[in-house]
Chains A and B, each alone.
Chain A
Amino acid sequence: MKQPIFVSAVVNFLLVAVAAITLFPLLWMLSVSLMAPGEASNYPPPLLPAHPTLTNYRELFAHAGMGRYLANSFGLATAATVISLTFNVMAGYAFAKLRFAGRERLFRVLLASLVIPAQVAMLPLFLMLKYLGLVNTYGGVIVPALAGIFGIFLVRQYALTIPDDLLEAARIDGAGEWRIFAVIVLPVLKPILVTLAIFTFLATWNDFMWPLIVLTDKDLYTLPVALAALSREHVQDNEMMMAGSVVTVLPVLLLFLVLQRYYIQGLLLGSVKG
């Protein structure tokens, strides 16, 4: 067949072009972050730094408190992931495999409420947290992340594949529900656990609107909120802003690169079956 070579070239060329357009902003961000202050505001705009320097990063971490924000983001994302994972795995398994009254109806209600956008709840939730004394605290940021209906759904989908006989046999052998959960179920669920952990970590790390509302003290800011505040203050400092973006984006990008198999798997599981 004569066509393949030509068509193949076209296809691959297009792929390269699309990839180039997609990656250009990210690579440019990296490049500008290593430029000297003011270097990027030139015409024609430079592509690569003349003398790569870490000044912007030093400035960010020494004077703008970036280390603090990085620690906040990391701590909060981890905490939210651990707690919500625990809750969601237990609930997802129960909805899949443990019979209790009203199980199906309750699950349908939960599923239906996925339609409601989270922003509807934002204002009353804020006022509720004020009465609980959680405004401007780490707890206040984590709280909405724990209500993860999607997570329960994912886990349930996966848990449905566990054969009932396995569980029954364990019960007959005298094992309690908790032991069954810990010993049999959790290992089987490991892939979905990793996937859900990545999802939750990413979502919490990238969350912007809620931390923006709940946090007033800059010491508690997460990276996205800090970056937004910095960008309104330092409109002229392109290079420092780019460095800030790199710090915000690099950790999750690395996480994704290492664990992309699980992430994509989970994405498909959640949407195609849905």
Chain B
Amino acid sequence: MRIRPKKPINVYENSQRRYISIALILASVLLISCQSQQPQQEIIKFWTIGAEGDAVIKLLPEFERQHPGVHVDVQQIPLTAALEKLLTGVAGNATPDISQLGNTWLPELVMLHALEPLDTRIAASNQVRPDDYFSGIWDTNVIDAQVYGVPWYVDTRLLFYRRDLLAQAGINTPPQNWQEWRASLIAVKALVGPQRYSILLPLNEFEPLLALAIQQDEPLLRDGDRYGNFRSAGFKRALGFYVEMFHNTWAPTMTNTQIANVWNEFGRGFFSYYISGPWNIGEFQRRLPPEQQKTWMTAPLPGPNGPGAGLAGGSSLVIFQNSKHKELAWQLIEFLSDPAIQLRFHTDTGDLPPRRSTWTDPALNSDEYAHAFRDQLERLKPTPKVPEWESIAQQIRLVAERAVHGDVTIDQAAELLDRHTDEILEKRRWILERGARP
């Protein structure tokens, strides 16, 4: 067989044409990617989580006016994917300059040496003054005596209740301690009967039980956060009270997916107490009819002997170690920490500001639903600052669910929880024993 002379010419032409067109396509792609970057502009990459992103975008033009030549590029991450994206970003050396960060996630990122310590910048700042912040929430950003984040907004869990139903049951003031609370739960249950309940505690959420546990004097972990402390009298008391609510049918044994619409159910009195956070102020105002707005109110969470400590939730603003624009990122933090800006942010999102001075503004001062929050914010306690906390919280939920279903007694549950927690913390203990910094 012989080489047919015609083919070679066609082949070369074809492949030439092919390669040229491919090159053109690749070039145009590169061109498009270069187009969006304006020359001579410094770009700060800012990751936000959930709804806060939309509100922040509205505030940014003012920041960019104050800092000409700077552009803030906001990337919104959905809440359900946030922790993965952050950790993957750190693991892959692909982090932004500044990010919103749930404050319970700080220990993990600090352990990975991902965050820039902010002490010197805070000391030199006129805007960010630690004593203006609620101490409990400021504390969540302090790890090993260094500050790694500035609180952006704060979140705590307290009682939302139907004051009209409570009044019908003979209770005219919200309970101040567990004894009063217990009495009111009994009274309301007697009023509403077997088909309805006094309080809703969704079984697939760990926050309500945690809120009760954090009120105890005993810490959740002991020995420098190396071991579980769930066999302490305090936690057993909290777990006991929690389980009692189900066994006495004050609370339905349901998860939040089994409640079709929690706002409607609150409105129709399916339950009278609900342990929830600030976002529900706006939600209840929006979703309940106007004539029902006077029937509900908020109150600080009652503790065993009086107003109790609260969960210190919320988000902070952090700067990443690998950022090339740390100074500008810090200026953005200062901008967002300005009480006036915080107030505008609050109006947009309903998130509560972490600074006392912002709270003096009439807009917040006169919000009767927010009073309970202002009260509780002075009594916040952080959860243990170990990277494994999220896993441990999950265990709390699983074991509590078993206790509610009667699979285990309180004592057994506490022992089980301690055992699981000790397992989870085993590596932390090993590292600490080696003398290395975890």
Contacts and interface: CB of A to CB of B under 8 A. Distances in A.
A and B touch in the complex (CB under 8 A): yes
Interface of A: 67-68, 71-72, 74-75, 78-79, 82, 126-127, 129-130, 133, 135-136, 163, 165-166, 169-170, 173, 175, 182-184, 186-187, 213-214, 216-219, 229, 232-233
A165 B76 CA distance: 62
* A interface secondary structure, majority: helix
A133 B25 CA distance: 25
Contacts of A214: 92
A229 B78 contact: yes
A67 B31 CA distance: 13
B47 to A, nearest CB: 9
B3 A216 contact: no
Given A71-B29, A216-B89, A229-B78, A182 B36 contact: no
Contacts of A216: 85, 88-89, 92, 94-95
Contacts, number: 78
A74 B78 contact: no
B26 interface: yes
B66 interface: no
Contacts of B3: 170, 173, 175, 183-184
Nearest to A179: B8
Contact of A130 (B2, B85, B91): B91
A68 B88 CA distance: 23
Contacts of B81: 229, 232
B183 to A, nearest CB: 42
B260 interface: no
Contacts of B26: 75, 78-79
A127, A129, A214, A218 pick with most chain B CB within 10 angstroms? A218
A79 B28 CA distance: 12
B11 A129 contact: no
B32 A165 contact: no
A9 B93 CA distance: 63
List the 4 closest A-B pairs by CB distance, nearest first: A135-B92, A75-B29, A136-B94, A232-B78
B190 interface: no
B22 interface: yes
B92 A136 contact: yes
A132 to B, nearest CB: 11
Given A71-B28, A127-B91, 17 more contacts: A67-B32, A68-B32, A71-B29, A74-B29, A75-B25, A130-B93, A135-B92, A136-B89, A136-B94, A182-B11, A183-B3, A187-B10, A213-B88, A216-B95, A219-B33, A233-B76, A233-B78
B125 interface: no
